[in-house]
Structure 1
Amino acid sequence: MTKIKICGLTRVCDIEAVNEALPDFVGFVFADSKRRIKPQDAIGLKNLLDKKIQAVGVFVNEDIANIADICLRGIIDIVQLHGQEDVTYMEKLQQEIEKPVIKAVGVRSREDIRAAETLTCQYLLLDTYSAKQAGGTGKTFDWNIVDEVKKPYFLAGGLNSNNILQAIKTVRPFGVDISSGVEVNGFKDKDKILEIVKLIRSTEQKR
């Protein structure tokens, strides 16, 4: 069954929405973004989060000591790297933390995916490439680029209730990562979160 991640939560009402919808993962963005959250605010939200949902921390070229501190404080269960983190960085990080790592890839070609598969991470996240920002574009990319991917991966980039089932059918990812697709005016919307989780779950249960 396809795993579901709702990324970019910032408010108590966002937590209440996902606690009702029960996706598999939620994301807290600690990098420069309109969805950025401070660690002291994120820990309050994590304490309210249903224990069945894992929290992912999103970072962009962050100091490893800061990531380790957030992990030690129990704010996140998984680390997601969305910058230019290389093999050396990731090896050092995994010496400091005992958490799974997701490495995001801005996909332009199959070669981008193949290169990322050599990295020492547990998961990949395939996202729309942008030279201006590290993810969060709200735009899809050509899913036909994705063929044989050895590592389990999340599909991201412009996913919403209108295209999510086609995306899953086309790519068959380990998981899907949804952010702007469940927002209204830049904020998470409870009805959209409930709708997309129900859509994915109910469709897969019919298979």
Structure 2
Amino acid sequence: MNNNRTSKIKICGIKSIQDLEAINKYKPDYIGLIFADSKRRVTPEQALNIKNHLVDNISTVGVFVNEDVDKVAEIALSTDLHLIQLHGDEDALYIQKLKALTNKKIIKAVRVKDSLQILEADMLPCDFLLLDTFSQNSYGGVGQTFDYSLIPNMKHPYFLAGGLNIRNIDNAISLNPFALDINSGVEVNGSKNYHKIKEIILRCRN
């Protein structure tokens, strides 16, 4: 890890152009558009509309879970995603094929159970890892943190996810991950909240 840089910020689960008011003003590095089954799911048409209303220099990340690789490639290219996040059980062959089809950078999510699992994922031909909280019943978005002592030294830069909010973000920042991935921690009643987005971005960059 490079202790001289500030972690980048990703706000995940953007659903509409209404969510972009704070995004376009406070400018996280990434937004996440979820194409997998989720209460925050968007269609390719909605994603393209969001992207067309997004200010420059914010990268779009498409989130997929165990989707057909050709369909992922089609959506990634038609919506001009900057990065693709795989949040399911996708393996090395899947990642290699997707990179060949799209020439886009890949984030592979790990639902953390132990350090060995992370080290195994670190061998995959992706560009980044994303460390998230394990749940038996969900592939992500459980709104809880995990035991950060399980994070080993890795060759891949990583996004840190899992229940991040204004109350625990300082602890996450202290790990100096490549990026902080925030979703439910900037929501009120299931919708993105202007004040919460502003507050956490300013805290991360302070």
Bin the TM-score by the shorter chain: over 0.9
Cα distance in 2 between the residues matched to 1:177 and 1:63: 25
Question: How many equivalent residue pairs?
Answer: 201
Displacement, 1:74?
3.5
Residue number in structure 1 paired with 2:146: 141
SS across alignment from 2:130: strand
Could you tell me the percent identity over the aligned residues? Answer: 49
For residues 81-120 of structure 1, what are the structure 2 equivalents within 5 Å? 81-120=86-125
* Residue number in structure 2 paired with 1:21: 26
Q: Does 1:65 align with 2:65?
A: no
Q: Which amino acid aligns with 2:88?
A: G
**Unaligned 5+ residue runs, structure 1?**
203-207
Q: Deviations over 1:123-143 (max 9, x none)?
A: 000000111111101000001
Runs of 4+ that moved beyond 2 A: none
Q: Say which SS state the counterpart of residue 55 (structure 1) adopts.
A: strand
Q: Secondary structure at the match of 1:85?
A: coil
Q: Aligned to 1:79, what secondary structure does the other structure show?
A: strand
Alpha-carbon distance, 1:93 to partner: 1.0
TM-score between both structures, scaled by the size of structure 1: 0.95
Matched, 1:156 2:161: yes
Tell me the residue number matched to 2:198. Answer: 194
Residue matched to 1:42: 47
**How much does 1:75 deviate?**
3.6
Would the aligned equivalents of 1:42 and 1:75 in 2 still touch at CA under 8 Å?
Answer: no
1:107–1:128 contact (8 Å) kept in structure 2: yes
* Contact 2:34–2:41 (8 Å) recurs in 1: yes
Structure 1, 63-72 or 21-30: larger mean CA deviation = 63-72
Q: CA RMSD in A?
A: 0.9
Question: 8 Å contact 1:39–1:75 — kept in the other structure?
Answer: no
Aligned counterparts of 2:85 and 2:165: Cα–Cα separation in 1 = 21
| Structure 2 gap segments, 5+ residues each | 1-5
| CA distance in structure 1 between the partners assigned to 2:19 and 2:170 by the alignment | 23
Question: In the alignment, is the contact (CA less than 8 A) between 2:62 and 2:81 conserved in 1?
Answer: yes
Pick from 157, 168, 180: which aligns with 1:176?
180
**Displacement of 1:185:** 0.4
